[in-house]
């Protein structure tokens, strides 16, 4: 499993005053305006990984359940799915 403990926030997120913080159990929190808005959870899926992108205020999932070869790719893919869902 690839280490996902250190990752810089993508440029598209910082351009919108967003931050990326390490959460619990390997999850990542996306903060907008200093408030956690989304949680990204890398999960095993059929010998690969997926990234659940969860809206924190209502628990709604925004991801499409794509599968990735490792946890780092799942995090990158989840961030891209969030960017698309936000229209950024």
- Could you report the per-residue pLDDT of 24-37, keeping only the tens digit for each? 988 999 999 999 99
Residue 46 has pLDDT above 70, yes or no: yes
**pTM for this structure?**
0.87
* Complete DSSP assignment for 21-59: EE-GGG-EEEEETTEEEEEEEEEEETTEEEEEEEETTT-
CA dihedral sign, ordered 75, 79, 81, 82: positive
Q: Select the more confidently predicted residue: 45 or 4.
A: 45
- Could you report the per-residue pLDDT of 3-21, keeping only the tens digit for each? 445 688 999 999 999 999 9
């Amino acid at each position: 499993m690839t280490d996902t403990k250190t990752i810089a926030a993508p440029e598209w997120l910082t351009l919108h005053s967003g931050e990326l913080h390490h959460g619990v159990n390997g999850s990542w929190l996306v903060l907008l305006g200093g408030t956690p808005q989304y949680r990204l959870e890398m999960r095993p899926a059929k010998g690969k990984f997926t990234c659940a992108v969860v809206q924190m205020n209502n628990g709604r999932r925004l991801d499409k359940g794509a599968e990735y070869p490792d946890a780092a790719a799942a995090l990158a893919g989840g961030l891209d799915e969030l960017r698309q869902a936000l229209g950024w």
